[in-house]
Amino acid sequence: MLDENLKERDQESKVPVLELYDTTLRDGAQAEDVSFSVEDKLRIALKLDELGVQFIEGGWPGANPKDIEFFRVVKATPLAQATVVAFGSTRKASNPVHSDSNLQALLLAETNTVTLFGKCWTLHVTEALGTTLSKNVELIGDSIEFLRSHGRRVFFDAEHFFDGYKTDPNYAMETVRKAAESGADRIILCDTNGGSMPWEVRDIFESVKRDCAVPLGIHAHNDAEMAVANSLVAVEAGAIQVQGTINGIGERCGNANLCSVLANLELKMNRPVLGTGRLAHLRNVSNYVSEVANLLPNKRQPYIGDTAFAHKGGVHIAAVQKNPITYEHVQPESVGNHRRVLISDHSGRSAVLKKIESLGLTLEKDNPQVQALLSSLKDLEFEGYQFEGAEGSFELLLRKAVGSHTPSFELLGCRIIVEKRQAHETPISEVTIMVKVGDVVEHTAAIGAGPVNALDHALRKALEKFYPQLKEVKLLDYKVRVLSGSLGTGSKVRVLIESGDHKEKWSTVGVSENIIEASWQALADSIEYKLLRSK
């Protein structure tokens, strides 16, 4: 239904409705460290459809068996509104159009819309394709005409267009005119090398628009970190389609980050793309794609990153509590994010009180415990503790300070043995531990891949009979940082542990000259936090 109404909608609307074209499954899959299975691609496609993306580029069906399989199975996948698009190149110069394997693969994908890319830069025509300029124009024209004759709607990706235009504007425009004459429904101007500046994109885009009746789009790469800016400038200059990837993943430095593009379009430029309320799902979709791609989310990503609305400085925190717009340019909830108050030695009384309040506790601002807690916090951070990334440990510290938490267990002692019997053998790590729960003393032992792993196993083994909910906890990340190397192997270290269960994730911290002691502190806090949440 979307495809049938696009042309009519374009004609009726005075301000063209923007089209969002996602290429995470094709361009994004070309990023280093990213490899999507067919099932991964299906799951992401469903998520993009829920978000409200109009076009989802599924891959290049002529390039690999995985993409061929995706187009086969996606036909049976119900999508609410998104149109799946197949991607490929113009025919090879040596192949007749009707027998070109790439064009045949595009037809076999059975998508009603196809994105076809062709060369627009003389350098690529003569050196990459190894053909003549006139032959390349012929390839563009008859490839588009062939697909159109088989009932396909064609988006022409004018590859390397901006570099081509800067080198030879007449030839770059000749390729665009040929695409338009041959029946392309959209012509997408591509900054394929990602090196163009916004003012160049604006000038070139406006020039092309004056000479091209076919609606234009933008496809920007991020090699100069201008992909988002170039995409927005293109929209201002008249682009009706914006291409990019979730989180900006892609080859080299990536593509235009659709998360930032979307937020800017809807919140800054008053150009709705997704539909009412859908932008609030943006952070969720971003994290989902990171999870499926097995990438750590970028915590500093604008709008949707963990730190996008995190406040650490005491002056900032006090101001935000009075009026959020003092240090926030949009409401965090508008993109599915939330405000965070970081606790550190930069924090003031208002930050501590805000944190106390968020935990459902009551403490007057003039209560001496507040100043005592603040002083203790600053002393601990001076020693090397860092609570802005270990909110689990901070909550326990706070609850103990106000008398609302009693430890669930007590360590009475432990012994750690690391034994290497022969030079070529892996060391054996064994921990014997004694803990007290109420009036009961539990004494047990465990082995592990290393002393910290063995300590973790022994602690769980001792406590799970008292607290079976600990079986849900998984250690997700373990980081060690040497705080000062001046003492060599005797330097103090900070251990940061991230744990999680089926509901949430939390981080805890420990500091000591002894890495085992620092690890114990973080492990014990992790378990205490889980038990606190289970009450």
pLDDT of residue 2: 45
Find the DSSP H helices in 359-439.
368-383, 391-401
State which H helix or E strand residue 440 sits in: strand 440-448
Q: What is the pLDDT of residues 13-61, one digit of tens each?
A: 455 689 999 999 999 999 999 999 999 999 999 999 999 999 999 999 9
Rounded CA gap, 531 and 341, in Å? 23
Question: In 10 A of CB 384, how many CB atoms?
Answer: 18
Please write the tens of the pLDDT for every residue from 119-131.
999 999 999 999 9
User: Which of 206-220, 340-354, 371-385 has maximum average pLDDT?
Assistant: 206-220
Q: Pick one of 3.40.1000, 3.40.50, 3.30.160, 1.10.10 as the CATH number of 409-466.
A: 3.30.160
For residues 344-349, give the mean pLDDT. 56
Q: Which residue has the higher pLDDT, 384 or 145?
A: 145
pLDDT of residue 492: 86
How much is the pLDDT for 374?
72
Average pLDDT on 447-460 reads: 91
Strand ranges for 78-231 from DSSP E: 83-89, 113-119, 153-159, 186-191, 216-220
Work out the widest C-alpha separation in the chain, in whole angstroms: 89
Residue 9 in this model has a pLDDT that exceeds 70: no
Rounded Cα–Cα distance for residues 385 and 345 (Å): 10
Question: How many Cβ atoms sit within 10 Å of the Cβ of residue 11?
Answer: 8
Helix (H, G, I), strand (E, B) or coil at 41: helix
Strands 113-119, 83-89: pairing is: parallel
**Is the Cβ–Cβ distance between 259 and 303 less than 8 Å?**
yes
Rounded-to-integer distance, Cα 521 and Cα 519, Å: 5
Please give the share of the chain, as a percent, with pLDDT higher than 70.
90
> Is the four-CA dihedral 243, 247, 251, 254 of positive or negative sign?
positive
Predicted pLDDT of residue 55: 98
Question: At what angle are helices 133-149 and 101-108 packed, to 10 degrees?
Answer: 30
The DSSP 8-state label assigned to residue 502 in this structure reads S
- How far apart, in whole angstroms, are the C-alpha atoms of residue 269 and residue 260? 12
Domain spans of the chain? 19-292, 310-383, 409-466
Q: Tokens at residue 428, please?
A: 């054996």
Residue keyed to tokens 């599915």: 336
Burial class, 458, CB count within 10 angstroms (exposed 0-12 / middle 13-18 / buried 19+)? buried
Q: How many residues does the chain have?
A: 535
Lowest-confidence region among 123-127, 144-148, 156-160, 365-369: 365-369
Looking at residue 203, what is its pLDDT? 98
**Which residue pairs from 497-503 have beta carbons closer than 8 angstroms and sit at least 24 positions apart in sequence?**
497/522, 497/523, 497/526, 499/392, 499/473, 499/474, 499/475, 499/526, 499/529, 499/530, 500/473, 500/474, 500/476, 501/472, 501/473, 501/474, 501/530, 502/472, 503/533
Which residue do the tokens 């601990």 mark?
380
> Contact, 282 vs 305, CB < 8 A?
no
Full-model pTM: 0.73
- The rounded distance, in Å, linking the Cα atoms of 467 and 487 is 40
Does residue 154 sit in helix, strand or coil?
strand
Q: How far is CA 67 from CA 73, 135, 248, 342, in A?
A: 10, 29, 21, 44
Gap between the Cα atoms of 357 and 338, Å rounded: 16
CATH fold of 19-292 reads: TIM Barrel (3.20.20)
Question: Residue 192 pLDDT > 60, yes or no?
Answer: yes
Q: 34-52 burial, b for 16+ CB within 10 Å, e for fewer?
A: bebebebbbbbbbbbbbbb
Percentage helix, strand, coil for the chain under 3-state DSSP, each rounded to 5: 45, 20, 35
Identify the pLDDT of residue 145: 98
Decide if pLDDT at 255 tops 50: yes
Which of 161, 244, 267 minimizes the C-alpha distance to 208?
Answer: 161
Reported as type and span, the H/E element at residue 352 is helix 349-358
Count the neighbouring beta carbons within 10 Å of the beta carbon of residue 414: 18
- What residues contact residue 412 under an 8 Å CB cut-off, 6+ apart? 434, 435, 436, 441
Q: What band does 467 get if pLDDT is binned at 50, 70 and 90?
A: very high
User: For residue range 16-29, what is the model confidence (pLDDT) as tens digits?
Assistant: 689 999 999 999 99
Higher pLDDT, residue 387 or 26: 26
User: Do 432 and 497 meet the contact criterion of CB atoms below 8 Å apart?
Assistant: no
Task: Give pLDDT tens digits for 103-115.
Answer: 999 999 999 999 9
Show the beta-strand stretches assigned E in 251-393: 310-311, 340-341
**Mean pLDDT in the chain?**
89
Q: For tokens 């069906």, what's the residue?
A: 61
pLDDT of residue 1: 41
Burial class (CB in 10 A: 0-12, 13-18, 19+), 308: buried
Q: Which residue has the higher pLDDT, 378 or 399?
A: 399
For residue 348, pLDDT beyond 90: no
pLDDT at res. 62: 78
The pLDDT-based confidence of 420 (bands split at 50, 70, 90) is confident
CB 59 within 8 A of CB 108: no
Task: Reduce the DSSP state of residue 484 to 3 states and report it.
Answer: coil
Q: Residue 309: what pLDDT?
A: 93
